[in-house]
Structure 1
């Protein structure tokens, strides 16, 4: 009788050890991010960046010569509030389409529904002088007398191009200089609340509407704020406010 009971116990343990491990495991998915760029409804890329003529919210007719920007600290947050943080940062040059995509090296996450959060520029901990060789090569440093670290954005062009008195603008964003030797962190936390359903390996489109830099909540008057803007504290804080509406979620590709 004792032998029979022992055999039953062993059989039960053997069955338990051979259960399919996937029965209680959520599948994992690998994530990539694809940034696209628009002026309202017009796609902007390497082919038309320097030829497209657009009109900003204040009525200035402008051309664009350069748009480069930095984002970092990508996070996906699921419906339970669990946060999945991806290493690395993304430097984008709109004239170079090879820079549009960002695939973190280690990025497997459980399938499910998420929202996206990332940092515009670098936060205070990451924004260290000379720390990133690839950014140094791009001459991306922010001047030490303005707070140091790195640019968040370089957006250059001409305005009033429909007149004989066109002028340059340099919409450059980074650390805000309050006064001599006094600086204020000027990064922004971008929260995109559109639900993102991840059912397998996916590429998430993040859309930049360039027009929003001049639109919301501050209508930008290039006749007043064109250049230089880097040492202008009020201009830097207005840029920080306006970037909050620049990004939206686009298509999810599997």
Structure 2
């Protein structure tokens, strides 16, 4: 009898020490950046080496974008990914339980969360939108150069915000152009790593072929351009390696 009790105590000790405890699991989410299958690094910046669906050669000089409401956590959250400065490309999450999760997040802020001036860290890095366009925050700042029809290298500012029609400055009309990204089911185990991939080429091609000769700068007050960005952005993100 004593031997049975001792053996039972041993089993309880074994399982309690070897199995991850509820809400003890840590996860790292890595954001990687690609151009139609080619992985981008900082060595690819400032080079006219990528070709859009419309045929323009472009460079990537600056890329930072905002995600919010990542579904692996239970509270409202946001995260700024800054590719060109290599900050924010990894996000650590702790306090999870081993389980299968449905992974979703929002590109940008919903209107409910897009309140002007309330996020001090975003204010400090000039991620806000001017009051004349309704305030709030950028969803993305993607800057570079492109070769135009005359082969001149000119700048572009592919900046995504909440779409605003400012035809009447005293009566701004808005459309929420943030969108949810659904990456499906992922199994979370202890020390898991999840890759979220952004294909920059998709911003220029699907479902709308983007013509940089026509749409290159001053896009923030362009109501129709912002809606096209939203539509093209829905194919930009995909789930990479989960291990």
Tell me, yes or no, if structure 1 residue 200 matches structure 2 residue 187.
no
Q: 2 CA distance for matches of 1:27 and 1:227? A: 47
Tell me which of 220, 231, 245 is aligned to 2:210. Answer: 220
Provide Cα deviations, 1:54-86, integer angstroms capped at 9, x if missing partner. Answer: 00111111112111111111004xxxxxxx535
SS at match of 2:87: helix
Relative to structure 1, the CA distance from residue 141 to residue 27 in structure 2 (aligned partners, 3 Å threshold; closer, same or farther) is closer
> Is residue 57 of structure 1 aligned with residue 53 of structure 2?
yes
Q: CA RMSD in A?
A: 2.3
> In the alignment, does 2:184 pair up with 1:176?
no
SS at match of 2:234: helix
Deviation beyond 3 Å, 4+ runs, structure 1: 19-23, 25-28, 161-164
What is the count of residue pairs matched by the alignment? 225
TM-score normalised over the length of structure 2: 0.84
Unaligned runs of 5+ in 2: 1-7
Query: Could you tell me how far apart the structure 1 residues matched to 2:178 and 2:23 are?
Result: 35
Whether the 8 Å CA contact 2:24–2:95 is kept in 1: the answer is yes
> Is there any run of 5+ residues in structure 1 with no aligned partner, and where?
1-14, 77-83
The match for 2:5 is none
How far is 1:163 from its partner?
Answer: 5.4
Larger Rg computed on CA atoms = 1
Q: Secondary structure at the match of 2:228?
A: helix
User: Which residue is equivalent to 1:132?
Assistant: 119
> For the Cα contact (< 8 Å) 1:33–1:206, is it kept in 2?
yes
Residue of structure 1 aligned with 2:90, choices 70, 85, 101? 101
Question: Is contact 2:156–2:216 with CA below 8 Å preserved after alignment?
Answer: yes
The TM-score with structure 1 as length reference comes to: 0.80
- Select 1:191's aligned residue among 182, 197, 205: 182
Whether the aligned pair in 2 keeps the contact of 1:148 and 1:175 (CA below 8 Å) is: no
> Which of 16, 24, 30 pairs up with 1:34?
30
The 3-state SS of whatever aligns with 1:98 is coil
Distance in 2, matches of 1:164 and 1:192, equals 39
After TM superposition, give the deviation of residue 184 of structure 1 in Å: 1.8
